[in-house]
Amino acid sequence: MGGMERPVRVLFVCLGNICRSPLAEGAFRKLLRERGLEDRFEVDSAGTGAWHAGEPMDPRARRVLEEEGAYFPHVARQMTREDALRFDHILVMDRENLLEVHRRFPEARGKARLLLDYLGGGEVPDPYYGDLQDCREVYWMVEAACRAFLEKHGPPVADGEGGA
């Protein structure tokens, strides 16, 4: 089977990196853990804006990730040119942020797309001005999209394997 392959690098992007992209990152990390694929992927998230850089994720997002068994330590950060060059897949939550990624990082063209493209299209709504239930609904949405992404870009699942 050869030597170690380079992990597939996946970056989740939203506006401030405190709600949607950490929810997606946590959901994806959980799916990888459940399938024993953590060593096959490198996962991170970032925001197009710097307003929340250095801050923890939104407390509602943290609570949802804890409820779902998907919590991970997180500090918000802004996307960089290095990210655009380094990551294989840049999965963005909405069209406005996708346009911003393409505008600031031409290197991301061909790598950046909307996360919900894996569910047939659409945008992940921003739960920032909503409540805990809005964060839960965003989690379920991004988890489904992450599952579809993994089915397309992950290793084939052998019979008898896979998550619940």
* CA–CA gap between residue 90 and residue 108 (Å, rounded): 8
Integer distance in angstroms from the first to the last C-alpha of the chain?
28
Count Cβ neighbours within 10 Å for each residue of 18-46 and write b for 16 or more, e otherwise: bbbbbbbbbbbbbbbeebebeeebebbbb
* CA–CA gap between residue 37 and residue 39 (Å, rounded): 5
| Contact indicator for 31, 41 with CB cutoff of 8 Å | no
* CA–CA gap between residue 41 and residue 39 (Å, rounded): 6
* CA–CA gap between residue 70 and residue 23 (Å, rounded): 8
* CA–CA gap between residue 162 and residue 160 (Å, rounded): 7
Whether 126 is catalytic is: yes
Q: Which position among 44, 58, 83, 126 bears the catalytic label?
A: 126
Q: Which position among 20, 29, 62, 136 bears the catalytic label?
A: 20
So which residues are the catalytic ones?
Answer: 14, 20, 126
